[in-house]
Amino acid sequence: MSTDKPRDSRSRLVFLIPIIAFIGFAAIAGAALLGTLSGTRNSDQLPSVLIGKSAPDLPITPLSEDMAKPLEAFQGQPVLINFMASWCAPCRAELPALALLSEEVAVIAVAYKDKHQDTATFLETYGNPYQAVWMDYDGAVGRSYGLYGVPETYLIDGNGKIILRHAGPVFRDVIDTIIRPALAKLSEAE
Amino acid sequence: MDQALKSYIAICFIAIFCSLSTFTVSFAVSPEEQLSDPILEERARALSQQLRCLVCQNQSIDDSDADLARDLRLEVRTQLQSGKTDSDILESIRSQYGDYVLLKPPVQTSTYLLWVMPVILLLFAALIFWMHRRGQSNTTQHTRSVRDSAEHTLTEDGHISVKPLLVSVTLIVAVSMIAYSQLGRPDLTSLPLANRSAAIEDARLASDARLKMAKETLAAAKENALRMPMSVDAQLRLAMAAAQSNAFVTEQKALAAALELTDGDLSIRAMQAEAISREAGGLVTLPARQILADILEANPDEPRALYLSGLAAFQDENFENALTYWQRLQTLSTDDAPWRTMLSDNIAQAAKAAGIPVDTPSGPDADMLAAAADMSIEDRQEMIAAMVAGLEEKLQDTPDDPAGWERLIQSRRVLNDRDGLMRALSGAANAFPTNPDYQLALLETLLQSETGNLYLTLAEKAVRNLQAIDPDGLEYLFFAGHFANMRGDTDEALSAWLRLQDKLPEDVPFAERLAAQIAALQSQK
């Protein structure tokens, strides 16, 4: 056999193409992996498909009669819907920041898959920054908002449209970098 | 080992592995989630495998134990049961969670590259291969001949050629695909691919027919209510039909109309509360609670209001209150009240949640019934029938057991077994010939069942027993006349009823009917 006869340069080039293609793919996958690891590429923070659409209905059962303000009562002003639960630790952690925020914008809570008594005790113990609290016993309302888990917060504009979804607790940095800018943009638009 | 044999074994392994991958069984779906309808369940499983568990790393909701995955699985099943199509369901979940929730991305402008990429890569590979071949064809003739021979044989001496390899791989894949389509998956053997579309079509037709019937009933009820605007009955029937078609607005309008016609009847108020709760997906809401409180204030014994108040308390996890309401309802309900079983189930549940022991019927019957809860419908009915038959046999040996007879009579009634019921009633009447209640129970059932002369001898015996108890008793005289009439003995019937007429006060409504029947008999003579 005379396969040791040198090939021409074009054949050598052809041989290189798969390797170059492989390196290209590896680069793309690597960048995606790095993004995932560093948190800049996070499937939890995908923009909600509901943005720009009307906010789905809130649950029908309020925590109590004085916490029974419906979404329509906030027409003409922005409102934050905060999905929370007494069984969720970050929900407790975000309460002080929410209390701070409640001085600038109305915040209402949807207790996601929580028990009535547990929500009541939770808010009595750690303070209640909400203007209304609605009970989403089976999580159906959460799913209609495309909820991944609690806590999650949605900003609704004066026309009842969803402007923003934030997954995870609302801490002060979130207020400064995400929520206040969005609120400012809303008041500017008016 | 021979190089060719090695490749052969490797290829076989790959083929077996590929065919096995169609038999993956997932463990995330727990039995209580599954739908009883195997076709719907199969569709649910197929849909779940197409939906991403959003909080996991690349798992379908079918594979995942995550809470959100479980919720979505249940939502898929609920929507299936309400008769939605697969694409409706995928679309409704996609409208909440976006394309990301679909494991198979939709073909749209933003995903063209994704879908076309494999084809591009394949073409690219073909191009390289072609260029490579052309490059080689420029080399010596000798190389080509070696390459040509390598294409057809794996060894120089040519014992194992490429052909059998290809044939065996194709065969393995084909056999496994045929087995799958004919026998079904090991975990869902009842549904081989081959019959599936027919079964799904049948289920769809059945559910269409159900929907159509509910629609027609509703339309008829609507027309009826329009024709008779002053009829409470027509409004209530409309409300019922509307409830069955989930037409909540119509239901509440009809109930409101009925309420107005009856000037605020409490039981209709209670139906309103129920309608409001049903609209809220079974949650007893604040407005419903308000109505319930009003009703119970006016009449603390309104059964529907009691039931719903118990439910409201249960939903608040105030189990003691729920128990109070429900147990009150239980003491008020008769044995044949339709809600009896549901109520005792609820009471047991509330008691368990509250940690309070309640008196539930104990003994082998209760245990067996509890076991029956886990069985299929057919098995359960068979078992209950066997239990009832056993009870009947026991009572024939030891007839002196009033509670046993009553249980037997009740069971036969529930099972809708007419012959068995008559046997039980006459057995009890024979066992206690001096107890008028048993005689009357038999006679009244015979009277209502319109069975003609079939059970006349049973009736005669019971009538004689009644006579022995009290020869002047009103019941005796009435039944003596009735059954004499039935066997054609007009004289005896007339004499019994005339005696009854003498004893009967004139102002009871029955007296009028009796007089009419006596007149009819006299004219027959």
Task: Give B64-96 pLDDT, tens digit per residue.
Answer: 888 888 889 988 988 888 888 888 899 889 888
Q: Are residues A2 and A78 in the same domain?
A: no
Determine whether the interchain pair A143/B71 forms a contact, defined as Cβ–Cβ distance below 8 Å.
yes
Q: Which of A107-111, B39-43, B297-301, B478-482 has the highest mean pLDDT?
A: A107-111
Q: Is the ipTM of this complex over 0.85?
A: no
Q: Are residues B345 and B249 in the same domain?
A: yes
Shortest Cα–Cα distance, A49 to chain B (Å): 5
What percent of chain B lies above the pLDDT cut of 70?
A: 79
Measured in degrees and rounded to the nearest 5, phi and psi for residue A168 equal 100, 170
Q: Are residues B327 and B381 in the same domain?
A: no
Task: Say which residue, B17 or A107, is predicted with more confidence.
Answer: A107
Quote the tokens at residue A23.
């390196």
How many structural domains comprise chain A? 2
Q: Are residues B310 and B376 in the same domain?
A: no
| Model confidence at A120: pLDDT above 60 | yes
Q: Are residues B284 and B353 in the same domain?
A: yes
**CA dihedral for B121, B126, B129, B134, sign (positive or negative):** negative
For the domain that residue B233 is a member of, what is the CATH number? 1.25.40.10
Measured in degrees and rounded to the nearest 5, phi and psi for residue A162 equal -75, 130
Listed residues B358, B381, B414: the one ending a domain: B358
Mean pLDDT of B479-508: 82
The pLDDT value recorded for residue B162 is: 66
The pLDDT value recorded for residue B10 is: 72
A45 chain-B contacts, CB cut-off 8 A: none
Determine whether the interchain pair B131/A11 forms a contact, defined as Cβ–Cβ distance below 8 Å.
yes
Listed residues B308, B334, B358: the one ending a domain: B358
Q: Are residues A33 and A16 in the same domain?
A: yes
Q: Give the N- to C-terminal CA distance of chain B in Å, as an integer.
A: 112
The pLDDT value recorded for residue A142 is: 92
Q: Are residues A81 and A166 in the same domain?
A: yes
Which range marks the domain in which residue B479 is found?
367-524
Q: What is the mean pLDDT of chain B?
A: 77
In a domain, B173, yes or no: no
CB-CB contact of B471 with B483 (8 Å):
no
Q: Are residues A20 and A109 in the same domain?
A: no
Burial of B508 (0-12, 13-18, 19+ CB in 10 A): exposed
Q: Are residues A66 and A32 in the same domain?
A: no
In a domain, B519, yes or no: yes
Determine whether the interchain pair B135/A3 forms a contact, defined as Cβ–Cβ distance below 8 Å.
no
CB-CB contact of B327 with B349 (8 Å):
no
Residues ≥6 apart with Cβ < 8 Å to B457? none
Mean pLDDT of A179-186: 91
Of A116, A98, A115, the C-alpha closest to A107 is: A98
Mean pLDDT of B238-247: 83
In a domain, B36, yes or no: no
Mean pLDDT of B280-289: 81
DSSP H stretches of helix in chain A: 9-38, 89-93, 95-101, 116-126, 140-144, 172-174, 180-189
DSSP strand pairing (A132-136 vs A61-62): antiparallel
DSSP per-residue letters across B275-337: HHHHHTTT---HHHHHHHHHHHHH-TT-HHHHHHHHHHHHHTT-HHHHHHHHHHHHHHS-TT-
Q: Are residues B233 and B373 in the same domain?
A: no
Q: Are residues B373 and B321 in the same domain?
A: no
Q: Are residues A20 and A96 in the same domain?
A: no
| Model confidence at B141: pLDDT above 60 | no
Q: Are residues A86 and A25 in the same domain?
A: no
In a domain, B50, yes or no: no
The pLDDT value recorded for residue A22 is: 81
Q: Are residues A107 and A15 in the same domain?
A: no
β-strand partners of A84:
A111
| Model confidence at B363: pLDDT above 50 | no
pLDDT band at A129 (very low <50, low <70, confident <90, very high): very high
pLDDT band at A119 (very low <50, low <70, confident <90, very high): very high
**Rounded CA separation B230/B220 (Å):** 17
B271-281 pLDDT, tens digit each: 889 888 887 77
| Model confidence at B26: pLDDT above 60 | no
Q: Are residues A144 and A92 in the same domain?
A: yes
Q: Are residues B514 and B421 in the same domain?
A: yes
Task: Say which residue, B130 or B159, is predicted with more confidence.
Answer: B130
Q: Are residues B446 and B325 in the same domain?
A: no
For the domain that residue A144 is a member of, what is the CATH number? 3.40.30.10
In a domain, B2, yes or no: no
How many structural domains comprise chain B? 2
Whether A149 has its CB under 8 Å from any CB of chain B: the answer is: yes
Determine whether the interchain pair A14/B128 forms a contact, defined as Cβ–Cβ distance below 8 Å.
yes
In a domain, B444, yes or no: yes
Inter-chain Cβ pairs, chain A and chain B, closer than 8 A: 79
Mean pLDDT of B108-122: 79
| Model confidence at A14: pLDDT above 70 | no
> Three-state DSSP class for B412?
helix
Q: Are residues A21 and A79 in the same domain?
A: no
Determine whether the interchain pair A144/B96 forms a contact, defined as Cβ–Cβ distance below 8 Å.
yes
Q: Are residues B243 and B386 in the same domain?
A: no
Q: Are residues A154 and A170 in the same domain?
A: yes
**Rounded CA separation B70/B55 (Å):** 11
Whether A70 has its CB under 8 Å from any CB of chain B: the answer is: no
Q: Are residues B372 and B520 in the same domain?
A: yes
Q: Are residues A66 and A149 in the same domain?
A: yes
Quote the tokens at residue B431.
């066992």
**CA dihedral for B42, B44, B47, B51, sign (positive or negative):** negative
Pick the residue from chain A with its C-alpha nearest to B127.
Answer: A14
Listed residues B358, B390, B423: the one ending a domain: B358
Q: Are residues B510 and B406 in the same domain?
A: yes
Q: Are residues B346 and B395 in the same domain?
A: no
Cβ–Cβ contacts within 10 Å for residue B84, how many?
15
Which range marks the domain in which residue A26 is found?
1-41
Task: Say which residue, B167 or A110, is predicted with more confidence.
Answer: A110
Determine whether the interchain pair A61/B146 forms a contact, defined as Cβ–Cβ distance below 8 Å.
no
The pLDDT value recorded for residue B225 is: 81
Measured in degrees and rounded to the nearest 5, phi and psi for residue A54 equal -70, 140
